[in-house]
Amino acid sequence: MTNDKTRFRHQSLQDRKSVQSLLKAITKGIAKGNLEFRDEEGEITLHPEGLLNLKVTARREGSRDRLDIQVSWHSEEAVGSDGKLVVNGKE
């Protein structure tokens, strides 16, 4: 099993229309099974497949509202080359 960690993070101020456009691009990428994220700091390509875990959190704290959307899945690469576990129990 590999323990590769690659991380991409981007933060910026956007208007609603720009955020909507980015979310549409993300949904198209999920549908195609290929998500590419890139900015001047770095890049990452993800391949969503199988069952996806969706977590949505919305909250209001005073005058600040927040929406967190998290989508995760296990990729074939993380499981191994063929994803099979073989155990030999012979004595």
> pLDDT truncated to tens, each residue of the chain (91 aa)?
455 678 999 999 999 999 999 999 999 999 999 999 999 999 999 999 999 999 999 999 999 999 999 999 998 765 555 557 667 776 6
For position 14, what pLDDT does the model report? 96
Model pLDDT, residue 1: 44
pTM score, whole prediction: 0.75
Count: domains in the chain: 1
Within a domain: 6: no
Considering the domain boundaries, does residue 45 fall inside one?
Answer: yes
Range of the domain at 68: 16-76
3-state DSSP assignment of residue 66: strand
Q: Is the distance from CB of 10 to CB of 39 less than 8 angstroms?
A: yes
Residue 2 counted as domain residue:
no
Q: 3 in a domain, yes or no?
A: no
Half-sphere exposure (CA, 13 Å, Cβ side) for 5? 0
> Within 10 Å of residue 73's Cβ, how many Cβ atoms?
15
